[in-house]
Structure 1
Amino acid sequence: MPDFGILGQPYAEPLRSSIGVNRRREWIILSALMARPNVFISMNAFIDAIRETDPPRTAREQVMNCLGSVRRAIAASDATGVRLDRVRDGYVFGIHAERIDHVVFSRLHAEAESAKALGRVESSLGVYERALALWRGSAYDGLDVSSFASHAAALEEQRAIAAEEYFALSIATGRGSGVLPQLVRHVGEHPLREHGVALLMAALHGEGRTHDAHAVYARLAHRLGEVLAIGPSIEVRRTLDAILDGTVSAGGPGSG
């Protein structure tokens, strides 16, 4: 299990006794380091990260203080193989990248996709489960920092894609009932992700809850009309048609 992470509230297990949970600036700096392991990060990037909470006049001093705290925490901990090196006007967080959760998640997601492409469905399902289990909340949970927003959004999108791939494979192998609670929660969190909605409709229909599948479609159509002034996608409409015709495939939408 990774001992550093940003897939939820940022954490660094070996440093937890040295960096208290309420030291927001240190966690912003440490999160910036964990986001880009073994890569040069300029002082300006650190300053951008904390500038929202510190006047520009003192931002550089605050960054240096925080980096010093992180360095001392590493030195005082049992974080073997972890270092923070000054390189020109910036720093490099030296660490075996697989100790950081988002790195492991991305690797596992790629492995699951490869296994699926090779027809190794059971292996793919298992790897998807391991990848999704790394998430403890939203990316950078508790740190509302604008310079992290694009990375957080990319990670959340990758998470949503992985979840939908996992749900689709589960439905295709007759395990829709086992993932239905997760799928309901996923659609609740992402009500305009139409692939997820189509999967939920298929899973509900597969459980004999055709009326609920129709209701899910109606909610999506209403939301899309209100928010974007458009109707549901072809995928969702075809799923509804297949449910009405009684021809929806065991694998649900996009099962091929």
Structure 2
Amino acid sequence: MSMLDPRTLTVIVTGATSGIGAATVRRFAGAGARVVAVGRRADRLEGLKAEFGDLVHTLELDVRDEAATFTAFSSLPAPFDAYNVVFANAGLARGLEPAYEASLDDWKTMVDTNVNGVLYTVRATLPAMVARREGHVVFTGSVAGTYAYPGGNVYGASKAFVKLFAMNVYADVAGKGVRVTNIEPGLTETEFSSVRFAGDAGRAEKVYADMAPMTGEDIAEQVFFACTLPRHVNINSIESMAAQQTFAPLAVKRDPA
């Protein structure tokens, strides 16, 4: 089986300024692919550009902004306008409170980013790949989109949306030269927990205490694998967990004696 030459790929990566996104930019650009690095932090984007030079085009963009997202992706300069991979990776979690105590603002922020930002990214980029009959849409889902846990509420629901959206997009593009993959990681140490706990480093560190979580590089390797398989192969999803993580036991809440 002959893998695709990554030098034939032009990859858009949203959420490129940290974690899985930054690792994915480095994995593809390091293999010779062209990459459009998309994010909100200009200094970090410029750092990626400095690492890889002309292989990386930076795009300072908040994908929650519908108009800006459509404008940005429709006006990419050559050769980056001929993208054939779109990694809709931008996403976040906010809070871990139960639904009856959770912040409505946190819920809105997660929906705006994890749902609307993904919708705008895909709708703005998919038509061109269908027209060229060559493309691949990759999503960052989560095991939280399959397995519920206390405090996951809207975050888990947003990732369940991503999972079903990915499947439905694939149903629409099958046979049109476009592949679709949902990457569904478990515990991965990035800035994820720091963002979830509003910068509380101590609380974030406890999430990964006494275990070896996955890293952004681990997930980037999964994205790279799916995208460099021959074009007749579609990886529908990749679900992965740290080796010390497993499925939650079914909880039984007993009345006090």
* TM-score (norm. length: structure 2): 0.29
More strand by share: 2
Structure possessing the higher relative contact order (Cα contacts under 8 Å, 6 or more residues apart): 2
Highest Rg: 1 or 2? Answer: 1
